[in-house]
Each structure stands twice: as structure tokens, then as C-alpha cells.
């Protein structure tokens, strides 16, 4: 029987005492944990930002003077690659904003100006149908839609509180958001510049405190998950560009308004798997409706067809095939993830499903390799010995 040493007893006693404190003083422990999590939000956001940035940075590192052995190039390559990655990401965001904001501003102005006339047009159309009672038509015709919309706007503003309260709240939220974003970006930069050293330190700590068998399993799962998420992000970006390009091209062919803006919005919403095209299409249809109901109907038919093509052909083949995940499991993962965790669940469900699928496949294949083929009843050697 193996003896239990004093160190092990002390460790067990410390763990039991810590659990007792957490259970007995759960309110205080929960407040401390909540405070720590709130303080760690910039670090979490920075870690999330660093992952897609690392994909761009690795791409630039791989293609930035790859055959050079110059010491200056080797030392400055990572910093230059990170700079190019940040500039690329900022350029993409700036391009989307430049395509969306000007046309969106004009759409809002048109919306505010045309809403009263739109309601009057709807009332006029309803009066042409005999099944709508005349008293309802008369009541709707007497409504001054412009003044009603003005009253609604005033009610909304009055519900927000005093101007000073709104200003103070807005400024404090803005300062807090800017501070969080700044700290997150700085943390992401430090992570990316020192990723090799940080990874090596974490591995040494884990190997020191955790048994080697567990650390090897953990490293293996992390490698599979990293490969799945890496492929998913690259494939999702490719799929979003394809979908946005098809949406813009189709709208230009059909001579629909706001093609560039709706195409850019579709690129952004396409990062939501399978149903992203419909979300962008709903916004586009609403904006086009203010200009022409007929064109809005044409756009709705077009976007529904495009979404069917995207959901059944483009997404499973571009994303699913690149990750080695069958199309049926892509659709299943998106459905379950969206049902349980909403939009974030839809986005993360595919790489998580790919990770689980790869781990299970590797485990099954490993077990198959261990299977022993039954020997022949009579071998040649046994025949010769007889």
C-alpha cells in the first residue's frame, strides 16, 4: 500500500478548506469573482482580437522575405508582419464603413421624409379593396402621419431623461469603451509579439504541475481546436466575400439601388453561418422599400434564392469541405448552436463541431489500427513443420 506523504495531505487539506470558504462565504466569493471577471474583460477581448490577427500576421511572416537570413530582417519580421496585419484589418473596416455609412445616411433621410407619404399611399391602396370597412379607411385617412411621427420621436427623447443625464451617460460609456478597446489592443499586441515565449512558459508551468499524460492530451486537443478555428475563420472570410460579391453583382444586374452598401452589409452579416444572408437581406429590403415596393419585392425574391444557394451549396462546400466536416454536420451544428446560444452559438458551432468530429475520427481510427487481424487457420510454416 502506497504511503501518503505530508505534502499531499497539506494540499488536500488546503483544497478542502478553500472549498469550505467558497461555500460558506459564497456571496463574498461571487462578488470577488465578478470583480475579477469585470477587470479581466480587456484581457479577454484582447485575446479574442489576437487570434484573427495572428492568422494575418502568420501569413505575412510566411511570405515576408522567407529566405532571408539577415539578423535585422529576422528581428523586425514579426513586428512588421503585425503592423501589416493591423493595417489590413483597419483597411477592411474602413472600406466597409466608407461603403455603408454615406448610403445609409441618405437612406435614413429618405426614410424620415417618405414615411408619411408611404402610410398615405398604403391607406389609398386599402381604400381600393372592398373588404376593408369604410369607417376604418376614413379614420386612417384623417390621421396626420407626419405629426404622429413627430410625437413618437418626442416621446422617445423624453423617455431618455434629461439632456444632461444623456450626455453624462453617453460620455462615460464612450470613455469606458475607448479605454477597454485601447487596453485590449495593447494586450493583443503584447500577446502576438511574445507568443512563442508566452507559449513556452505556459508549457513549462503545465508540465511542472500536471502529469505528462494529461498535458499531452491537452496539447493534442488544443492543436486540433486551433487548426479547426483557423480553417473556419479563413473559410468564413472566403465565403463572406463570395456571398457579398454575388449579392452586389446580382443587384447591379437587376438594377436595384444601394448595391454597394447592401453588398458590404451582406459581407458582414455573412459571418453568421447560413442565415447571415437573410439578416442582411431584411435590412436591404426595408431600405429599398422606401424607394420602390416593386424593387423591394424583386430584391426579396433574389435574396431568398441567394440564401438557399448559400445555405445548401456555398457554405457547406466552402466551409465544411475545408474543415473536413460533412455538409449534414455543418447544418446540424449551426441549427443546434443557434437554438441554444443564439448568433454567437451559430458562429462558434461549426469549429467546435469540427474539433469534436476530428477528435472522434482520430480516436476511432486509432482503435481500428489496434485491431488484430485473425491469423490463418493453417500457415505455410505450420504446414512445413508437420
Low-confidence spans in the chain with pLDDT less than 50: 1, 160-161, 163, 372-386
pLDDT recorded at residue 360: 87
pLDDT recorded at residue 377: 42
pLDDT recorded at residue 283: 81
Residue with cell 473536413: 324
pLDDT recorded at residue 132: 58
295: cell is 424593387
Overall pTM > 0.85? no
pLDDT recorded at residue 93: 84
Q: 214-244 b/e with 16+ CB inside 10 Å = b? A: eeeeeeeeeebbebbbbbbebbbbebbebbb
In the chain, domain spans: 8-39, 211-365
Sign of the dihedral through C-alpha 372, 373, 376, 377: positive
pLDDT recorded at residue 113: 64
pLDDT recorded at residue 170: 54
pLDDT recorded at residue 378: 42
pLDDT recorded at residue 111: 62
Q: SS3 string of the chain?
A: CCCCCHHHHHHHHHHHHHHHHHHHCHHHHHHHHHHHHHHCHHHHHHHHHHHHHHHHHHHHHHHCCCCCCCHHHHHHHHHHHHHHHHHHHHHHHHHHHHHHHHHHHHHHHHHHHHHHHHHHHHHHHHHCCCCCCHHHHHHHHCCCHHHHHHHHHHHHHHHCCCHHHHHHHHHHHHHHHHHHHHHHHHHHHHHHHCHHHHHHHHHHHHHHHCCHHHHHHHHHHHHHHHHHHHHHHHHHHHHHHHHHHHHHHHHHHCCCCCHHHHHHHHHHHCCCCCCHHHHHHHHHHHHHHHHCHHHHHHHHHHHHHHHHHHHHHHHHHHHHHHHCCCHHHHHHHHHHHHHHHHHHHHHHHHHHHHHHHHHHHHHHHHHHHHCCCCCCCCCHHHHHHC
Q: For the chain, give the number of residues.
A: 386
Q: What is the share, in percent, of the chain residues with pLDDT greater than 70? A: 70
pLDDT recorded at residue 159: 52
pLDDT recorded at residue 385: 45
pLDDT recorded at residue 2: 53
Amino acid at each position: 500500500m502506497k504511503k501518503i506523504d505530508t505534502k499531499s495531505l497539506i494540499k488536500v487539506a488546503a483544497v478542502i478548506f478553500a472549498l469550505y470558504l467558497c461555500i460558506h462565504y459564497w456571496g463574498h466569493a461571487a462578488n470577488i469573482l465578478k470583480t475579477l471577471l469585470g477587470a479581466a474583460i480587456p484581457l479577454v477581448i484582447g485575446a479574442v482580437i489576437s487570434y484573427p490577427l495572428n492568422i494575418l500576421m502568420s501569413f505575412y511572416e510566411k511570405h515576408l522575405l522567407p529566405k532571408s537570413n539577415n539578423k535585422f530582417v529576422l528581428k523586425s519580421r514579426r513586428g512588421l508582419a503585425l503592423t501589416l496585419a493591423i493595417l489590413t484589418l483597419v483597411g477592411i473596416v474602413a472600406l466597409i464603413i466608407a461603403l455603408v455609412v454615406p448610403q445609409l445616411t441618405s437612406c435614413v433621410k429618405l426614410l424620415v421624409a417618405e414615411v408619411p407619404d408611404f402610410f398615405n399611399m398604403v391607406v389609398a391602396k386599402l381604400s381600393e379593396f372592398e373588404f376593408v370597412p369604410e369607417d376604418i379607411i376614413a379614420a386612417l385617412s384623417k390621421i396626420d402621419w407626419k405629426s404622429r411621427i413627430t410625437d413618437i420621436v418626442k416621446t422617445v427623447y423624453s423617455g431618455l431623461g434629461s439632456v444632461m443625464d444623456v450626455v453624462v451617460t453617453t460620455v462615460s460609456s464612450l470613455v469606458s469603451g475607448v479605454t477597454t478597446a485601447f487596453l485590449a489592443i495593447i494586450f493583443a499586441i503584447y500577446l502576438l509579439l511574445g507568443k512563442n515565449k508566452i507559449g513556452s512558459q505556459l508549457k513549462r508551468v503545465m508540465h511542472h504541475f500536471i502529469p505528462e499524460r494529461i498535458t499531452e492530451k491537452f496539447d493534442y486537443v488544443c492543436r486540433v481546436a486551433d487548426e479547426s478555428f483557423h480553417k473556419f475563420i479563413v473559410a468564413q472570410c472566403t465565403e463572406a466575400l463570395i456571398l457579398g460579391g454575388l449579392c452586389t453583382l446580382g443587384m447591379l444586374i437587376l438594377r436595384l439601388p444601394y448595391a454597394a452598401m447592401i453588398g458590404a452589409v451582406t459581407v458582414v452579416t455573412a459571418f453568421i453561418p447560413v442565415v447571415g444572408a437573410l439578416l442582411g437581406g431584411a435590412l436591404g429590403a426595408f431600405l429599398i422599400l422606401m424607394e420602390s415596393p416593386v424593387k423591394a419585392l424583386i430584391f426579396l425574391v433574389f435574396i431568398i434564392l441567394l440564401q438557399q444557394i448559400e445555405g445548401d451549396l456555398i457554405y457547406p462546400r466552402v466551409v465544411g469541405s475545408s474543415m473536413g466536416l460533412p455538409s449534414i454536420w455543418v447544418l446540424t451544428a449551426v441549427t443546434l448552436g443557434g437554438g441554444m446560444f443564439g448568433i454567437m452559438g451559430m458562429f462558434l458551432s461549426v469549429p467546435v463541431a469540427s474539433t469534436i468530429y476530428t477528435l472522434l475520427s482520430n480516436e476511432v481510427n486509432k482503435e481500428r489500427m489496434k485491431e488484430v487481424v485473425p491469423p490463418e487457420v493453417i500457415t505455410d510454416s505450420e504446414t512445413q513443420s508437420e
